[in-house]
Amino acid sequence: MLRTLVIGDIHAAKKALVQVLDRAELQADDQLIFLGDYVDAWSEAVETVDFLIELQSQYNCRFIRGNHDVLCYDFLTKGEAPVTWLLHGGEMTKRSYEKASEETIERHIIFYESLENYFIDEKNRLFLHAGYTNLRGVSHEYFEQMFYWDRTLWELATVVESCDKHELPKRLGHYSEIFIGHTPLSKEEFTRPEKRANIWNIDTGAAFKGGLTVFDIDSKQYWQSDAVPTLYPTENGRNNSPK
């Protein structure tokens, strides 16, 4: 049976990714949609991207662009390493790539350039990393950066949910369901995916103290890795990042 599985923000936690995909018991005809932020936090940035590239040769994968992926791409192609990036997980990614071969880096640059800003499936379900601001939907967005930086979409869904409104705001109503990452549901504890309005947030804090989540968008069944800090006991991830 064909499944569409959405995977939340990995943040270079390859061990968590391998573990949770094993728990989901991947099938040959599964479609895998990764919501971005493949790097920045834990120590296995290069290994994580290598794993994803190999996975793509075996399964039907779609890779969405996250803000941390853009920052990493700018580092690899322009040498840019702003302090804000380094303090929010980029330092570990920088160290990881300093040990990589030129061939590996070139292969990864191609991977980062192939990422999609969003994907809409045949059932009008939208997949993107962060959000959008245009009231007419993603195809009318003026600023591409919103797809991987915006947080107002999740804030809007939170307000709608708390007000118990029955009609969706215009910005949300274009799509039957929306699946995002980007804004961790918790930085302090292990948590599960959460729905507000018609948006599912799949970022369960793998960069911090949570686990990595694989979510079946039809059955709503999900699988999670162990808390990522237990898989990298000598590392801090983003747990010491500035607030």
Q: What is the mean pLDDT of residues 64-89?
A: 97
CA distances from 11 to 47, 49, 196, 203, 242 (A): 11, 10, 24, 10, 17
For the chain, which residues make up each domain, given as ranges? 4-229
Q: What is the mean pLDDT of residues 145-151?
A: 98
Is the pLDDT at 132 greater than 90, yes or no? yes
46, 36 in Cβ contact below 8 A? no
Residue 166: the pLDDT is 66
* Reported pTM: 0.96
Q: Give CA–CA dist 54/13, Å, rounded.
A: 16
Architecture of domain 4-229: 4-Layer Sandwich (3.60)
- pLDDT-based confidence at 83, cuts 50/70/90? very high
β-bridge partners, 34: 7, 63
Q: What is the largest CA-CA distance in the chain?
A: 54
Residue 164: the pLDDT is 62
Q: Give CA–CA dist 133/156, Å, rounded.
A: 11
Residue 29: the pLDDT is 96
Residue 163: the pLDDT is 76
Question: Which residue in this structure is represented by tokens 């290994």?
Answer: 47
